[in-house]
Amino acid sequence: MISAIVVSYRSAAAARAALASVRDDARRAGIAAETVCVDNSDDPAEARALEGACDRLVVPAGNLGYAGGLNAGIAASRGDVLLLSNPDVVFLAGAVAALAAAVAG
């Protein structure tokens, strides 16, 4: 399974689009995937805007920075393949399968 981890800082709309694109592309390719979003904004409205957009929403007590957010997302993920992404990345058709194939070697 692929775990797609997106760290968001006041970018809920972009993160929702990124998460939807990876989920949709994985489904089209028949790849098991989970989406994890880390909300680094420390803003309850941002967290509410991300609810339902991912399988797991991680809301740390404060801003962990990008690397810290990724680490928090990794800790919450279950996949054996990790896809780490910024919130403004939209995955085009075939991207998830191509990335999974590259990791498989």
**Is the separation of the CB atoms in 77 and 70 below 8 Å?**
no
Q: Contact, 8 vs 47, CB < 8 A?
A: no
Average pLDDT of the residues of the chain: 96
The percent of residues above 90 in pLDDT, for the chain, comes to 95
Q: For residues 19 and 5, give the distance between their C-alpha atoms in angstroms, rounded to a whole number.
A: 9
- Model confidence band, residue 104 (pLDDT cutoffs 50, 70, 90): confident
Distance CA 6, CA 39 (A): 9
| pTM, 2 dp | 0.94
For residue 105, pLDDT beyond 80 = no
Contact 95, 83 (CB under 8 A): no
Per-residue pLDDT tens for 9-50? 999 999 999 999 999 999 999 999 999 999 999 999 999 999
